[in-house]
Amino acid sequence: MSFSALQKAYSDHSRVWELNHWVYPVISRRAGGLSIGINLNLDKSCSFRCAYCQVDRTIPGKSLALDLNLLEQEILSLIEEYKKNGLTGFSNFKEIAEEKRLIRDICLSGDGESTLVPEFKEVCQLMLKIQKQFREYPLQLTLITNATHLQFPKVREGLSLLTSFRGEIWGKLDAGTDAWFRQINGSSMSLEVIQNNLEMTVKDFPMQIQTMLCKIGENFPSQVEIDAYLKRLEKIYYAGKENFKGVQLYGVVRQTALDTVSALPKDFLENVAEQIRNSLPVCVNVF
């Protein structure tokens, strides 16, 4: 397998797989292998408008009611296909080394915010059922979330199911100040809501923090911004250090919907990672 084949597979996060509506396979750097992705937001609904989002919202999404039975069938058929052929039929996957194709997780990550979907709890229940059904695979259940709705009781019931065996919440914290928060996440809500939700969540459930570091036009996070971010991270860590599983810093590697967004040098990310490691005893990964 060539390096470029792996890079190509990492950057292929197309959510269209054969005739599926909600389920797609992806080689994920963060999961360290093959991830079964679930996109609950075919209509592209999201409570953020991140500057770096890859979803092009100038093209309307599909309006299709979620069918839990069909969703289950889509997940099962993907796992069956994996068992039979290791998904070698999928466009980029045949060039990928077998160890990179090992199935790692089922992940709620789509063209919007999964927790906005009314059936969120039922989807978590279904994921747990499938995780139990395929005990031969060490499947982790993962929710990637922007944390805007983690305070709602029905969402928390879903989180409880999702994390009851081997599951994690990957919550977004991209800013330390409201000013950068508004620029990077395009939200009019207060950053304090996100902070409270992340603190409340890490008290009860295993969680990692995901942070995007990028340039927007000529702007990028100043040291004042990074210091404010570190303070927020510290508060989250001390709200539930047993459940705090680490920090993922990531930069722009794929095409973003806005062309004003660009990548920062890898050194910048490594420097922020070092500052986090110097202030907290946590695992920090740079992607």
Q: What is the 3-state secondary structure (H, E, C) of 253-273?
A: CCCCCCCCEEECCHHHHHHHH
Residue (64 or 224) nearer to ligand SF4, CB: 64
| Nearest distance, CB of residue 145 and ligand SF4, angstroms | 8
Residue (113 or 225) nearer to ligand SF4, CB: 113
| Nearest distance, CB of residue 186 and ligand SF4, angstroms | 7
Q: Is 130 helix (H, G, I), strand (E, B) or coil?
A: helix
- How many CB atoms sit inside 10 A of residue 278's CB? 8
Residue (269 or 280) nearer to ligand SF4, CB: 269
Residue (50 or 128) nearer to ligand SF4, CB: 50
For residue 42, report the phi and psi dihedrals to the nearest 5 degrees: -60, -30
Residue (163 or 187) nearer to ligand SF4, CB: 187
| C-alpha count within 13 angstroms, C-beta hemisphere, residue 237 | 17
107 sits in which H/E element: strand 103-108
| Nearest distance, CB of residue 88 and ligand SF4, angstroms | 30
Q: 170: which DSSP letter?
A: E
For strands 207-212 and 244-250, give the pairing: parallel
Residue (79 or 143) nearer to ligand SF4, CB: 143
Beta sheet of 284-286, edge-to-edge order: 23-28, 33-38, 103-108, 140-145, 167-172, 207-212, 244-250, 284-286
Q: Which of 175, 181, 239, 185 is nearest to 207 (CA)?
A: 239
As beta bridge partners, residue 196 has none
| Nearest distance, CB of residue 202 and ligand SF4, angstroms | 19
| Nearest distance, CB of residue 242 and ligand SF4, angstroms | 27
| Nearest distance, CB of residue 261 and ligand SF4, angstroms | 11
Residues in contact with ligand SF4 by CB under 6 A are 46, 48-50, 53, 55, 112-113, 146
